[in-house]
Chain A
Amino acid sequence: DGGITQSPKYLFRKEGQNVTLSCEQNLNHDAMYWYRQDPGQGLRLIYYSQIVNDFQKGDIAEGYSVSREKKESFPLTVTSAQKNPTAFYLCASSTPGLLLNEQFFGPGTRLTVL
């Protein structure tokens, strides 16, 4: 089955700790994205990567970091500098091209800071 997997589904961390969220896709997509979703709100873009070893900041990148060492993987690190990290985090991927295409989403990781 092709798709996007995110792990873990639920994550708890103490204040001041860094935590890394996993995102893996086997769709052979070049582009990958990280979004944050707060209760009752839409999705906001944190970081995106159009190709391996390259990524760009989205609208709310402060306090987050990413890497893109492999086409299949795009991990997100939530650092202690993120003031309000409790949220639902969604990873997506797509095939970039001249025609805009569907973004495929993973099941999400719910992060709670204790």
Chain B
Amino acid sequence: GENVEQHPSTLSVQEGDSAVIKCTYSDSASNYFPWYKQELGKGPQLIIDIRSNVGEKKDQRIAVTLNKTAKHFSLHITETQPEDSAVYFCAPSNAGNMLTFGGGTRLMVKP
């Protein structure tokens, strides 16, 4: 099965700084790479995703970059705000809508 690791497990940044979270995966057949945000006591919500035929995707302050050769993809958040504080999960997938979640990264944005 897919082995997924996220780094770092916790990340603390000052408001306005950038944050980067990296996700490594083991299955070379993976072709869908989403990032989910989970706020305290709530279900995860998709914030950005990328497919294997694209190297980078950007949506306002967030972006995802993919390196299929090295089997990792990263979430980039620029100009961080306190409301970005949450737990972020990567969840690569190779088929059938089955996601394999990483262990999560707790992001804390200090005002």
Contact = CB atoms under 8 A, between A and B. Distances in A.
B34 A102 contact: yes
Interface residues of B, number: 25
Interface in A3-52: 4, 31, 35, 40-45, 48, 50
B41 A48 contact: no
A42 B103 contact: yes
Contact of A41 (B31, B32, B103): B103
Contacts of B41: 107-108
A41 B102 CA distance: 8
Contacts of A94: 97
A44 B44 CA distance: 13
A50 B96 CA distance: 9
A105 interface: yes
A89 to B, nearest CB: 10
B97 A96 contact: yes
Contact of A108 (B42, B45, B51, B96): B42
B105 to A, nearest CB: 10
Given A40-B104, A42-B104, A45-B98, A102 B46 contact: yes
B104 A100 contact: no
Given A31-B97, A43-B101, A102 B42 contact: no
A63 interface: no
B67 to A, nearest CB: 19
- What 6 A-B pairs have minimum CB-CB distances, sorted nearest first? A105-B43, A100-B32, A42-B101, A43-B101, A102-B46, A42-B103
